[in-house]
Structures are given as structure tokens and as C-alpha cells.
């Protein structure tokens, strides 16, 4: 069963490069996160996920780890990170680090040893074929770069060789089984990394490419799941309050493998993009997202998949919805502030543990930029946080040309300071919704959920215990097609009222009734 503190957790995802630079070098740092803990708490988020902050050549923004046990100098020191854990805990907040178990940087010491011609204890830490001209059908591999006569398998970019967790049914001399000593050594090495940070105050991990450990024939993921179950046993025994969230997007598998939460990601082909980003990978393609005011408002494109996953997993863990993340185009590219308000109100009143991506609370805009650190289209969602109207929008005192990425150049770039005093701002709306979530137990992670009315083009109505919620994302007023006798509004975006006969919900409106 999931860690207890997740019942009321709302996460804030921080891309550390871009959050707050306190030493004027143009890039964010640990101290910057510490200084903004009160802001995050006040927003209604009581937990953090920090993207990889470890030593790295940064060919994939830190997802190419060179040393799992060392904070990258550009962010500070291990002591700074430990201070962040302490400061967070003082405020009853929790911190998840990003664990990258499927691959390392090619500059990691393990890989440097593994590529040597002379066999050594790291020779099988990665997946190598047995000859310099032998590849691995179906998996990307690199030859010609190592001292040993072999090619190695990649897990993602060229800089990210795959760690060896074994094969389910090895059928080549170079493939180890999942219970062979080399595969077990990799798993134990990853457990050692986890222990290192858990012992220093970290509260758990967001796990990168969690489904990627066993390469094949692991279609049903029994091999990969067995590894996670083993790791869960360690957590249950020694760190019972530690939490893990998987980048898997298959909660039926991930939660059974021992995860507390699994992200519902906007992978093309699954139902999540139909809510906010229904345009695949092309930001210029037409968008029929549910929350766009001029779409066909068909919640039934989302609901069957969600309900199937939710019903199957609600007793074992949580589905985590995100406003966006560092891999996704910010929803504000297509949705305006009123559409975003409804989308966030939905995400934050659904079951499971929600994640807010830094800057989404003010509707920070996606920027069209050249790639940085392997970001490609993702770079535009990774720009500096916009705090106020001072130099570099309050992100850094460095000269603009030294910034990690440029800040939004628009005259009307949204900022935290600019939205503070406007009660209708996106920022203050997020605060109110999260306040409501924290106040009403039924709205929290494990509160009940039932869809009451889900018909294309009509308001979507759902129940969370004693609370009934109606959303009308369209431009026409509508009657709430559900009996809500005896209930009164707790929280409204737009308009909603009872005229003595029926309950009416205005255009682009949201109402929670109790």
C-alpha cells in the first residue's frame, strides 16, 4: 500500500536549471529552491520532485548521470541538497529525487570500466554483444567506441548506455538471465544509490523509464516488475515511508510492481492528451482537447481508459495526473487562462496524487527555442521561472546572454508578482483549488470517485464522496444534468446557480458542490 503521506500530497515539479539562480551564474541552484519553499507551500504544494541534479555532462539535461552520489556543481553541493531536505521537512514537505536506473552517462565510472578490453567487475554492468561487428536486432547499439571488441546497447540517446538487468529468456551467449550475478549486481548498485540519498533525508524517487530495465522478452514486464518488487521489499523494510512514482504510464503493472504512484502521461495513443494536448508532437496541428472552448468536448475519449485503470488500481496505489512536465509542451501554448483554470480544477479534484509543473501556476508560455542539453522540442518548456518584473524576470542577476535559457521576452510575460494581487489570476485560482483539496478529505488522493454524467458536448459531472463536481468547458450555458438536491456550491470558477428548478452552469465554468 502507498506511503501514508501521499493521501494529501500535491507535488511541484522543479527543473533545477530554471527555477531560481542565487549566485548569479545564470543557472538555478539548490539555494534557489530552498528560498522558494514557502512560496511552493503557500501555493498548496507540499511535495517536490526535482529533475536530476547529479553530476553529469548534461547531454540529456542530467538524465545522463556521471555520478549518482554527487550533486552537480552548478547546483551546489551534497550538503546543500541535504539542507533542502531539512528545510522541506521543517515545513512538513517531502522531496523526491529523480532516479535514472536504466542507463548512465557514457562518462560514468562504471561504463569507463565496462568498456575496457580486460575483463573486470563492471564488464557486465552494461549490455554488450560478443563482437565488435555484432549488433542486437531490435535495440539501438553503438560500435567502434570501446576498447573491448563488442557493441553496447543504448537505452535512450547515444550518450546513455543501457545498464544490464538481464534478459528474461537469454538466447545469445552475451545475454545474462535476470537472476545471474551481473544482473543482480546492477540492481544492488541501484539500491545502494537509493539508500545513499534516503539515508540523507530524501523521501523517495521519481523513476525514469521505469519499464525499461529488462530488454526482452519482457512484454508482460514480469522481469522488470520482479526487480521493482525486490526494491520495494528493501523500502518496506528499511524506509517504509519512502515513495516512488514511475514514468511508466501503465498503472496496472507499475502499481503492482511496488510503485506508490504511476504517471498518467501524455503519450500519443493514450487517453491523457485528449484532455489538454490533443495534437501529438506537432504544436501547430489542430487541437481538439477537451478543455479547449471550441472543441467537441468529448470526455468519453478520456474516461473509459481512466476508469479501467482507476478501478483496477484504486486499492493499491495512485494514478498521477500532471499539468505538464519537462518533456511536454506547456498546455498554455493552446489553452488560454480560462481554459487552463478548468483543466487544473479538474486535475486537482481527481483521485490520485497530482503534479504541478513549475510555472504552470502562472500559465508560463512555451518558447520556440533551439535545443539545449538534448531538449529539442522540450527546451521550450524548460525556460526560467518568471518571478517578477526585475532583471531576467527575477530568475537571475546574470547578464541575459549567460542565462541557461532566455526568459520569456514578451512585454506581458506572466509573473508571480504580477498575478499576486489579482484574485481572478491563474495563480490565485490554483491556490484556491488546492486549498479546497486540502480542506475536503473526499477530494484527496484516496477519496472515492464516480462519474455521474459523461456525454459528449454536455457538462461532465462526477462525485467525490459527498462532493459533486460539474464542468462545462464550452461557450454556452448548460443545465447540470444530475440531481444535486440539497447541495450548495463550495467553490466556483465562472458561474453556477440554482434557479428554483434546475442547476445552471455558465460557459467555461466549474463548480464543486457539497
Q: Out of 13, 21, 106, 208, point to the residue binding ligand NOJ (CB under 6 A).
A: 208
Pairwise CA distance, residues 257 & 220, whole Å: 12
Q: Which residues in 163-202 contact ligand NOJ (CB under 6 A)?
A: none
Task: Give the residue from 283, 242, 287, 246 showing the smallest Cα distance to 264.
Answer: 246
Measured from the CB of residue 247, what is the shortest distance to ligand NOJ in angstroms?
6
When asked if residue 358 is in the footprint of ligand NOJ (CB under 6 A), the reply is no
- Quick one: 247 or 408, whose CB is closer to ligand NOJ? 247
The H-or-E segment that residue 98 falls in is strand 94-99
Q: For 231, phi and psi rounded to 5 degrees?
A: -65, -40
Q: Out of 68, 111, 156, 309, point to the residue binding ligand NOJ (CB under 6 A).
A: 156
402: exposed, middle or buried (Cβ count in 10 Å: 0-12, 13-18, 19+): middle
- Residues 335 and 293 sit within 8 Å (Cβ to Cβ): no
- Per-residue contact flags (x/-) with ligand NOJ for residues 436 to 475, judged by CB under 6 A: ----------------------------------------
When asked if residue 373 is in the footprint of ligand NOJ (CB under 6 A), the reply is no
Measured from the CB of residue 81, what is the shortest distance to ligand NOJ in angstroms?
20
Measured from the CB of residue 59, what is the shortest distance to ligand NOJ in angstroms?
10
- Per-residue contact flags (x/-) with ligand NOJ for residues 6 to 45, judged by CB under 6 A: ----------------------------------------
Pairwise CA distance, residues 488 & 490, whole Å: 6
Pairwise CA distance, residues 331 & 360, whole Å: 8
Q: Which residues in 304-343 contact ligand NOJ (CB under 6 A)?
A: 326-327
Q: How far is CA 90 from CA 51, 159, 218, 241, in A?
A: 22, 38, 43, 17
When asked if residue 63 is in the footprint of ligand NOJ (CB under 6 A), the reply is yes
- Residues 496 and 489 sit within 8 Å (Cβ to Cβ): yes
- Residues 210 and 247 sit within 8 Å (Cβ to Cβ): yes
- Quick one: 207 or 342, whose CB is closer to ligand NOJ? 207
Measured from the CB of residue 64, what is the shortest distance to ligand NOJ in angstroms?
8
State the CB neighbour count (10 A cutoff) for residue 163.
Answer: 26
List, in sequence order, every residue forming a beta bridge with 142; answer none if it has no partner. Answer: 152
- Residues 98 and 206 sit within 8 Å (Cβ to Cβ): yes
Q: Out of 100, 183, 461, 493, point to the residue binding ligand NOJ (CB under 6 A).
A: 100
Q: Out of 13, 55, 60, 260, point to the residue binding ligand NOJ (CB under 6 A).
A: 60
The residue nearest ligand NOJ at its CB is: 63
Measured from the CB of residue 505, what is the shortest distance to ligand NOJ in angstroms?
37
List, in sequence order, every residue forming a beta bridge with 150; answer none if it has no partner. Answer: none
Measured from the CB of residue 378, what is the shortest distance to ligand NOJ in angstroms?
7
- Residues 193 and 99 sit within 8 Å (Cβ to Cβ): yes
DSSP assignment letter at 210? G
Q: How far is CA 451 from CA 299, 329, 423, 469, 474, in A?
A: 11, 29, 30, 10, 19
Count residues contacting ligand NOJ (CB under 6 A)?
9
- Quick one: 190 or 393, whose CB is closer to ligand NOJ? 190
Which residues contact ligand NOJ (rule: CB under 6 A)? 60, 63, 100, 156, 208-209, 247, 326-327
Amino acid at each position: 500500500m502507498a506511503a501514508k503521506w501521499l493521501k494529501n500530497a500535491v507535488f511541484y515539479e522543479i527543473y533545477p536549471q530554471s527555477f531560481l539562480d542565487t549566485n548569479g551564474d545564470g543557472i538555478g541552484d539548490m539555494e534557489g529552491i530552498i528560498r522558494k519553499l514557502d512560496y511552493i507551500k503557500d501555493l498548496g504544494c507540499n511535495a517536490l520532485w526535482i529533475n536530476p541534479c547529479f553530476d553529469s555532462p548534461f547531454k540529456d539535461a542530467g538524465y545522463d548521470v556521471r555520478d549518482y552520489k554527487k550533486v552537480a556543481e552548478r547546483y551546489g553541493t551534497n550538503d546543500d541538497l541535504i539542507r533542502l531536505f531539512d528545510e522541506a521537512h521543517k515545513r512538513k514537505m517531502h522531496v523526491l529525487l529523480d532516479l535514472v536506473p536504466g542507463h548512465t552517462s557514457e562518462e560514468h565510472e562504471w561504463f569507463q570500466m565496462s568498456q575496457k578490453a580486460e575483463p573486470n567487475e563492471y564488464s557486465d554492468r552494461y549490455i554488450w554483444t560478443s563482437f565488435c561487428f555484432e549488433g542486437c536486432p531490435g535495440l539501438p547499439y553503438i560500435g567502434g567506441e570501446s576498447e573491448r571488441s563488442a557493441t553496447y546497447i543504448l537505452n535512450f540517446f547515444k550518450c546513455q548506455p543501457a545498464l544490464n538487468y538481464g534478459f528474461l529468456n537469454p538466447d545469445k551467449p552475451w545475454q545474462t538471465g535476470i537472476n545471474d550475478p551481473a544482473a543482480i549486481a546492477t540492481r544492488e548498485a541501484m539500491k545502494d544509490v537509493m539508500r545513499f540519498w534516503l539515508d540523507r533525508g530524501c523521501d523517495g524517487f521519481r523513476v525514469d523509464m521505469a519499464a525499461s530495465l529488462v530488454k526482452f522478452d519482457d512484454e508482460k514486464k514480469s522481469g522488470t516488475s520482479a526487480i521493482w518488487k525486490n526494491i520495494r521489499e528493501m523500502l518496506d523494510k528499511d524506509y517504509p515511508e519512502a515513495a516512488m512514482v514511475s514514468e511508466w504510464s501503465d498503472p496496472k503493472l507499475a502499481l503492482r510492481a511496488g510503485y506508490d504512484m504511476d504517471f498518467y502521461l501524455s503519450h500519443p495513443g493514450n487517453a491523457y492528451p485528449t484532455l489538454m494536448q490533443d495534437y501529438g508532437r506537432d504544436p501547430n496541428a489542430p487541437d481538439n482537447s477537451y478543455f479547449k472552448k471550441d472543441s467537441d468536448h468529448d470526455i468519453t475519449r478520456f474516461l473509459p481508459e481512466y476508469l479501467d485503470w482507476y478501478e483496477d488500481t484504486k486499492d493499491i496505489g495512485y494514478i498521477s495526473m500532471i499539468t505538464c512536465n519537462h518533456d511536454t509542451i506547456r498546455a498554455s501554448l493552446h489553452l488560454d487562462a480560462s481554459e487552463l483554470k478548468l483543466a487544473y480544477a479538474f486535475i486537482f479534484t481527481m483521485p490520485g496524487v497530482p503534479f504541478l509543473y513549475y510555472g504552470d501556476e502562472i500559465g508560463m508560455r512555451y518558447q520556440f527555442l533551439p535545443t539545449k542539453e538534448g531538449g529539442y522540442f522540450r527546451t521550450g518548456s524548460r525556460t526560467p521561472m518568471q518571478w517578477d518584473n526585475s532583471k531576467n524576470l527575477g530568475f537571475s542577476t546574470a547578464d541575459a546572454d549567460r542565462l541557461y535559457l532566455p526568459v520569456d521576452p514578451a512585454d506581458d510575460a506572466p509573473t508571480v508578482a504580477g498575478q499576486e494581487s489579482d484574485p481572478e489570476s491563474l495563480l490565485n485560482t490554483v491556490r484556491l483549488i488546492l486549498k479546497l483539496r486540502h480542506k475536503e478529505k473526499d477530494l484527496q488522493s484516496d477519496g472515492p470517485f464516480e462519474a455521474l454524467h459523461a456525454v459528449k458536448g454536455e457538462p461532465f459531472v462526477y462525485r467525490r464522496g459527498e462532493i459533486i463536481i460539474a464542468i462545462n468547458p464550452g461557450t454556452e450555458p448548460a443545465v447540470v444534468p444530475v440531481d444535486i438536491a440539497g447541495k450548495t456550491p463550495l467553490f466556483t470558477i465562472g458561474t453556477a446557480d440554482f434557479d428554483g428548478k434546475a442547476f445552471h452552469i455558465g460557459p467555461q465554468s466549474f463548480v464543486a458542490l457539497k
